[in-house]
Chains A and B, each alone.
Chain A
Amino acid sequence: EVMPTLDMALFDWTDYEDLKPEV
């Protein structure tokens, strides 16, 4: 089974702003 790649748009960065990768 091939899983879909992680969708960055689904993550909630509210509490993890400092971890958010630069796009």
Chain B
Amino acid sequence: ADPCHDEGGAPRGCVPGLVNAALGREALASSTCGRPATRACDASDPRRAHPAALLTSPAGSASPLCWRSDALTQAPFNVTLTVPLGKAFELVFVSLRFCSAPPASLALLKSQDHGRSWAPLGFFSSHCGLDYGRPPAAARGPAGPGPEALCFPAPQVQPDGGGLLAFSVQDGSPAGLDLDSSPVLQDWVTATDIRVVLTRPARPGDAGDVESTAPYSYSATELQVGGRCKCNGHASRCLLDAQGRLTCDCRHGTEGPDCGRCKPFYCDRPWQRATAREAHACLACSCNGHARRCRFNMELYRLSGRRSGGVCLNCRHNTAGRHCHYCREGFYRDPGRALSDRRACRACDCHPVGAAGKTCNQTTGQCPCKDGVAGLTCNRCAPGFQQSRSPVAPCVKTP
């Protein structure tokens, strides 16, 4: 079964499955313990190392299990965890398990341009105003028209001394927005990289003076980024390309890492994201097999009632026109051949003396004959005429 086409072969919207996009990706931490080695942490000893790779490695595959930061003795206590996802994903949730008391404040950021710029997805703090200058989400008024980064309570300490950050990406989004129909929401959930900024360590009982608890270290594992490989509804899976980059297995005449554009010959209408109801497949230009390239013309598309805007380029086999659907000057349609036949257009072959020009009727192939000349190519004198010696008037009335 092909998720991108129905039983009849018609295209339909399709999406890759929900995965942990961070799994196996290289996690980067701005601070990791073990250099220089201490009694508890030695980066050069696998049995005592706590590298950032433990954040995104399969559960239970390593021992120890948790990444750990260096001991932080004085402010600022910021430590950044970054996971490049390799390509754009549409996020559903982000979670992070803390192996020690979770921080009192942290920020969750995303990048849509492979780490060049960052935007917040959410903040988590026991003191939203103090840490991030914004009101707690619960105390905030009605949601705005679009998604925004809200400030949620910091993760609670669990009985085992750890804690869990669990964030649903649509938590910052007003209810009722639908991913299929809301470009704003599509943009909100799209990320190529995820970053967690651990801002302030927890202090038992309060969130005030953290320096009294120093040195402090953060420790975490299982950074999960739940999402779907972003293919804009035109692929049901993502694969590694020849260069080892994750890319959509595009269908519907689309191409690109996210199926974000139409393939070169598939430009009869503008690219569109597929929805659950409509595949919006890119359509091949109609060139009757006489052109390999085409371009999109918006004006023609509008004039056609938004049905067809492709213009064939470099029509071959002596054809011409927007769809290579008629014969170029000096050629006419052979009625015995299909329009898609390589020899659908025959040369006019107008007689150099008997014809008044070289261009024949494109339908009948009739050349324009001089007076008294007849025949499809004007190569004979008409009845009642005979050949003269003058090439200007090749046929004269028979005396």
Contact = CB atoms under 8 A, between A and B. Distances in A.
B383 A3 contact: yes
A8 B380 CA distance: 11
Interface residues of B, number: 20
Interface string B54-98: 000000000000000000000000000000000000000000000
Interface residues of A, number: 16
B374 A11 contact: no
B379 A13 contact: no
Contacts of A8: 353
Contacts of A5: 375, 379-380
Majority SS of interface residues in chain A?
Answer: loop
A4 B375 CA distance: 11
Nearest to A14: B389
A1 B383 contact: yes
B349 to A, nearest CB: 12
B351 interface: yes
B391 A11 contact: yes
A17 to B, nearest CB: 10
B331 to A, nearest CB: 19
A21 B352 contact: yes
20 contacts: A1-B383, A3-B375, A3-B383, A3-B385, A6-B379, A6-B380, A6-B381, A7-B387, A8-B353, A10-B389, A11-B353, A11-B390, A11-B391, A11-B394, A12-B390, A16-B390, A16-B391, A16-B392, A21-B352, A21-B353
Interface of A: 1-8, 10-13, 16, 19-21
